Amino acid sequence: MPVATATATQDILQLYKQTRAQTEKICKPLEPEDTVVQPIVDVSPPKWHMAHTSWFFETFLLKQHLQGYKEFHPKYSYLFNSYYNNVGNRVQRDQRSTLTRPPLRDIYTFREHVDEHMQQLLQSISEEKLQEILPVLQLGLQHEQQHQELLITDIKYILSTNPLLPTYTPQLVKKTTQATKANFLEVPGGTYTIGYRGDDFCFDNELGVHDVQLEDFQIMNRLVTNGEYLEFMQDGAYQDFRHWLDEGLAMVRKDNLEAPLYWLQQDGEWHRFTMHGLQKVDLNEPVTHISFYEADAYANWAGKRLLTEFEWEAASQVYPPASGNFVESDLLEPTAADPGKEGMQQLYGDTWEWTYSAYHPYPGFTKAPGAIGEYNGKFMINQMVLRGGSCATPENHIRTTYRNFFHPDKRWQYNGIRLASK
């Protein structure tokens, strides 16, 4: 059931519980010590994610709508507000590892406290009131799902910095993969309508539905694989300025990049750190943990280009994706395409797909008043749009109109490449 289609109290409560339980499932394999560090500013401590998502419900629902509600702890809003200036001062983003207290067990208690009161709220309010708070409630659930994906990528990063290279979970049975031939599928030019037009939940950044004119183009039938990316590496592409945006080249040189994040050579063979420990690179699996710069350089090297977000959305209208390798598969890493399948694959799941579109407002975009208005709009600069979800995304979280966004140098997300041609 898509998050947003639940409207009856019971459905919503069930959805709430499922969503909250999923967060705890993700954190279960962790030691308390794992939940507190912040190796880079992009990564938040898992404990912080667990508390922050609860703070969201406490702040925007319980304190507003549950009569007599007392906040769990008077300092938690200061500790666990992320970036909502409207809500007040807070721990600076790069200081989240100072929060060794409250200990993890207190955060679990906080979660229980919030969950009990959310249940109380939902069971006590009128249908009318329910409809009034539904948008914020849905936003809270979507928000928690976004943090579930961040939890996975942040845990991966935290474990990767540890010299012991610890395993998050053992791998489910690993199948031998096979190569799927790349080919390019036609998307006819014309006028396409962009943005969300349904009745369910969507983020404000998907609104401002508008038409764009596109010319004919071709889109690759699957994601670019590790094997293809290895050819790019072995061709000396990281050293060849011709393929790179100028700022990408500067990053490559400053950070001595020569491979995707998490790749390392051992005994002359490329391995990658995965959620299941260090493994040999599988040439048929999609390449991931690359920056936009690397995606763009790869496309240039291959004589192709990246899609714009409008082309991606148009393609998803021509080739509507049904399902994909999402977090529910419990694989937590991208999987190889299926050589037995015709046509489009992997448009959903496996890896987010970098587009050559800046994350800017659609025409007519307006921010909600107050804190909720800070959700998306204030980040609409210097970031690039990604589409399609990944192996860390909940299936009922994604839409073809969904706009994810990261700075072009970020590599710790499950981001990958799909090519366009002419």
- Chain residues binding its own copies by CB under 8 A are 31-37, 39, 47, 75, 78-79, 83, 85-86, 91, 95, 97-104, 158-159, 161-164, 166, 191, 210-213, 215, 241-242, 244-249, 292-293, 356-358, 360-361, 363-364, 378-382, 408, 422
Indicate the residue among 68 and 163 with the shorter CB distance to its own copies. 163
Q: How far is the CB of 375 from its own copies (least distance, A)?
A: 11
Indicate the residue among 321 and 361 with the shorter CB distance to its own copies. 361
Task: For strands 415-416 and 352-358, give the pairing.
Answer: parallel
Q: How far is the CB of 229 from its own copies (least distance, A)?
A: 20
Q: How far is the CB of 183 from its own copies (least distance, A)?
A: 22
Q: How far is the CB of 166 from its own copies (least distance, A)?
A: 5
Indicate the residue among 56 and 157 with the shorter CB distance to its own copies. 157
Indicate the residue among 31 and 199 with the shorter CB distance to its own copies. 31
Residue with tokens 């508390």: 51
Q: How far is the CB of 96 from its own copies (least distance, A)?
A: 10
Indicate the residue among 326 and 356 with the shorter CB distance to its own copies. 356
Indicate the residue among 306 and 347 with the shorter CB distance to its own copies. 306
Q: How far is the CB of 255 from its own copies (least distance, A)?
A: 16
Classify 330 in phi/psi space as left (phi over 0), alpha (psi -120 to 50) or beta. left
Q: How far is the CB of 156 from its own copies (least distance, A)?
A: 13
Indicate the residue among 395 and 409 with the shorter CB distance to its own copies. 409
